[in-house]
């Protein structure tokens, strides 16, 4: 039987993969994907826990996150395209204009 803990483990693994991606990747596009993975990891946890408690709030929240993530991707990709047009690259090491 697949229980709550299995879902949570999957969610945690996915989150970790996303986190490693955020930390290690240099390409902004990949970074975006990594954050999406993290968000979805959270969504899985929300959905699982919602099912476990028989409370729909969690699933509702997951939908919200999906919606927000979608719009965020829309805006974010737009910025990325502009950036790419301007700098010809999406490598983070090349984009360090804010050095203190």
Partner 1 sequence: MENLVYIALFAPFVGSLFAALFGMSERKIFVGIIGSALIGLSFLASAILAYNLYTTGTVVQVRMMDWISAGDLNVGFGFVIDQISVTMMTVVTLVSTIVHIYAIGYMDHDKSFNRFFSYLSAFVFSMMILVMSDNFLGLFIGWEGVGVCSWLLVGFWYHKPDQKREDNPSISPSWAANEAFIMNRIADLGMLIGIFILYWNTGSLQYDVVFAQLPYLSDSVLMWAAIALFIGAMGKSAQFPLHTWLTDAMEGPTPVSALIHAATMVTAGVFLVIRANPLYSMEAVAGVSFFIASLGTFVAFYAASMALVERDLKRIIAYSTLSQLGYMFAAAGLGAYWIALFHLAAHAFFKALLFLGGGNVMHAMHDELDLFKMGGLRKKMRGTWIYMTIASIALAGLPFFAGFYSKDAIIETAFNEGTYVLWGILVLTAGMTAFYSFRQVFLSFHGEERYKALGFDPHEMYKFVLVAMSPLAILAMITGLFMNQYKAFIYKIGESVQYEMSDHTHHLAVWLILLVVFIALSGIALAYFKYARTGEHAFKPDEKTANGFFYKLLINQYYVPVFYENFITKPYMMISEMLWTKVDLKIVDATVDNIARFFYNTGDKTRRMETGNLSNYLNWMALGAVILLVVAAISAMLV
CA-based R_g, the chain, Å: 17
Q: Does 98 bind partner 1 (CB under 8 A)?
A: yes
Q: Does 85 bind partner 1 (CB under 8 A)?
A: no
Which span sits near partner 1 by CB under 8 A: 16-24, 43-51, 55-63, 77-85?
16-24
Which span sits near partner 1 by CB under 8 A: 40-48, 63-71, 79-87, 90-98?
90-98
Tokens 């955020």 correspond to 22
CB 31 within 8 Å of CB 21 = yes
Query: Which runs of consecutive H residues, i.e. helices, occur in 1-100?
Result: 4-24, 28-53, 57-87
Which span sits near partner 1 by CB under 8 A: 38-46, 51-59, 62-70, 91-99?
91-99
Q: Which C-beta is closer to partner 1: that of 18 or that of 62?
A: 18
The nearest distance, CB 17 to partner 1, in angstroms, is: 14
Give the C-alpha separation, 80 to 73, whole Å.
Answer: 10
What 3-state DSSP class applies to 26? coil
Q: Which of 1, 2, 3, 23 forms a contact with partner 1 (CB under 8 A)?
A: 23
């Amino acid at each position: 039987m697949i229980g709550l803990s299995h879902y949570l483990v999957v969610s945690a693994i996915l989150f970790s993969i996303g986190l490693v991606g955020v930390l290690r990747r240099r390409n902004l596009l990949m970074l975006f994907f990594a954050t999406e993975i993290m968000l979805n990891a959270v969504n899985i946890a929300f959905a699982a826990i919602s099912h476990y408690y028989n409370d729909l709030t969690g699933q509702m929240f997951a939908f919200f996150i999906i919606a927000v993530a979608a719009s965020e991707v829309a805006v974010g990709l737009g910025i990325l395209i502009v950036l790419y047009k301007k700098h010809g690259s999406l490598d983070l090491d090349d984009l360090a204009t804010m050095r203190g």
